[in-house]
Amino acid sequence: MIYDLEAPPGTNPILIPGSQGFIIGVNWANNNRLLVTVNLNKVKGSVGSYNYIDKKHAYYRTVSYDVRGQNAALLFSNVEEFDRNAVASSIADITLDDPDHVYMPLLAEYSPGVFHLALYNVDVNTGTATRFMLGSYTTKTFYMDGKGHVVARIDQEKQPLVDHLFLNDSGNWRETGQYDAEGLESAGVAGLTADGSALVRESVHKDTGRTGLVKMLLADGTVTPLYFDQKYDVSGEQVDPWTNRIIGYSIDADMSEDHYFDPKMQALQEGLEAAFPGNSVHAYTWDVDKQEVIVQVDGPNQPSDYFLLNRATHQAIEIGTTYPGLNDDALGKISPYPYKARDGLDIPAYLTLPPGKPAKNLPTVIMPHGGQMARDGMQFDWMAQFLANRGYAVLQPNFRGSSGYGKKFVEAGFGQWGLKMQDDVTDGVQKLIADGIADPKRICIVGASYGGYAALAGAAFTPDLYACAASWAGVTDLQHFLQTRSNDYGDDSAMIERWSRFIGDRKTDADKLDAASPAKNADRIKCPVLLLHGVSDTTVRIDQSEEMNDALQHAGKKVTFIKFENETHYMHAGDTRVRYLKELEQFLTANIGN
């Protein structure tokens, strides 16, 4: 919806017309055109050089609307290769000097069946695109300066997987570095510094192993440190929405923290934090003069609220909230709950306790995060808070392999699906029992994606520990999963290289992968299992849950399998989340009470 901030009170917002798929992003191209990015799932044949025959695949498209929500224009609609690209939505550059055009990448057919990445200049009023620059066969990314100039590109060669970083010297491409794309430190370019003189790159500190920021001068390729934290990885960069330049960074300690290189922006940040103590506060976006700022405020017991701050009058008005009417007394208290793994590794974790209940002998839900290389923190978590509201203690362990704690912590998870990564989860459960917080007979493990795998692995490999297990879109057969991703993207793709580092090689480690696959060990499971999966999931396809369901039924186990039509991997639809929580609550109540 588009809100006119100068309209009289009570004026209704303008609703963007509905369309197929899920809206996953919005961005102003100029004062009169809004860009809306949509995720669609389609059955298609070949896409670029990939093969998706008879399978659904996620398609991303961007549509431009005027401020009245009318005169829609599909970007790239005139380009022949448009329909053969899974992603036709990325914005490489928006320039203040030319508000009617944006720059966007697209795979273009260089010769029959051979695609090169190209940059296009796209008219946001009509959707018409004109090719601006063509990369090589191995080009994967272009970087621009906010003024319509390409300053760098990355080419990626395969076997071994190496990123080559090139700087654009007046049309002459000069290679300035090679980076191991199989590992954790690829070229890692985030963008340009505020003054445009250097590229900002993510880099791993040689002594601490923490990921921080360096800058590389465009003039000669000289690299100097920009920021490194002693304890945490840099979790993201602060980007100026008008220039697309890197002006700061974020770190995720227990809570997310924003920092800026410019003293004036840092002073603004510190003032916002003083106004909203105890929460994470973010300058979400602003006008060109930085006089009006939209501020996002969130915290452990604070769902995201948005305020419009007028810096001249020092007045802030609330313009939106994500969970209106949700009262503090309905929420659980979250706190750090670190512990030692059995091999001595420190495992960060967070414990949410149900409101109004003593932390003793509670029915407990273990909730390992998805994404594998993700992490949990002390932010509002809709699922954990729902469970706490229903009377459950909730443990969220950041097992080895989780991001945010340095290269060594991530690498400790290599090859450890179902092994040490799972042991880390188990050790957290044992600590809850030892501390008297969890009732050992009323513990359920619940997760989504990798967390769904961990839930089923917990039920299979520690069958006496859990009274039930629930998986949303979990991986269940590691060989099958890797084979499916390989069929989609190729054995030599960066995706397969990354997955194989954590899971193992499906060709050489077949026995190990089968031993760590819950679907191959369904006969070991003793507790009831709940499987939930989106039919349109293209990240972990539904055949993973189908295989698990068949294996459990064949083994005579108690299993419930629920399919969600038209849903993706990410529970995009609100109705999906409501139904998921209702099904989960019923399952937990039946198996561990509340």
Query: What are 378's two structure tokens?
Result: 């002390």
pLDDT reading at 46 higher than 70:
no
Query: Residues 563, 552, 371, 440: is their CA dihedral positive or negative?
Result: positive
What pLDDT, in 10s, does the model give residues 445-478?
999 999 999 999 999 999 999 999 999 999 999 9
Strands 189-192 and 172-180: unpaired
User: What secondary structure does DSSP assign to 193-249, as a single string?
Assistant: BTTSSEEEEEEE-TTT--EEEEEEETTT--EEEEE--SSS-EEEEEE-TTT--EEEE
* 11-25, 87-101, 254-268, 319-333: the lowest-pLDDT one: 11-25
pLDDT of residue 183: 57
What pLDDT, in 10s, does the model give residues 309-356?
999 999 999 988 999 888 888 999 999 999 999 999 999 999 999 999
CA distance 418 to 512: 10
pLDDT of residue 55: 65
For residue 385, CA distances in Å to 291, 377, 382, 395, 429 come to 36, 13, 5, 11, 19
CA distance 473 to 534: 7
- Unique residue bearing structure tokens 């609100």: 574
pTM given for the model: 0.94
- Unique residue bearing structure tokens 């389609």: 42
Query: What are 579's two structure tokens?
Result: 């139904």
433, with CB counted inside 10 A (0-12, 13-18, 19+), is middle
pLDDT of residue 84: 87
pLDDT reading at 513 higher than 70:
yes
Cβ neighbors of 505 (< 8 A, separation 6 or more) are none
CA distance 280 to 89: 30
7, containing H or E segment: none
pLDDT of residue 50: 46
Q: Are 56 and 151 in contact (CB under 8 A)?
A: no
- Unique residue bearing structure tokens 């796209």: 122
CA distance 39 to 333: 35
CA distance 477 to 433: 30
pLDDT reading at 122 higher than 90:
yes
pLDDT of residue 47: 45
- What domains lie within the chain, and their CATH numbers? 1-137 (no CATH), 328-477+517-592 (3.40.50.1820)
DSSP state letter for 570: T
pLDDT of residue 187: 80
**Among the listed residues 144, 142, 55, the one whose alpha carbon sits nearest the alpha carbon of residue 98:** 144
Query: What are 581's two structure tokens?
Result: 């929580």
Q: How confident is the model at residue 563 (pLDDT cuts 50, 70, 90)?
A: very high
Q: How confident is the model at residue 49 (pLDDT cuts 50, 70, 90)?
A: very low
CA distance 506 to 479: 5
What pLDDT, in 10s, does the model give residues 14-41?
988 766 788 999 999 999 999 999 988 7
pLDDT of residue 182: 62
CA distance 471 to 53: 28
pLDDT of residue 53: 45
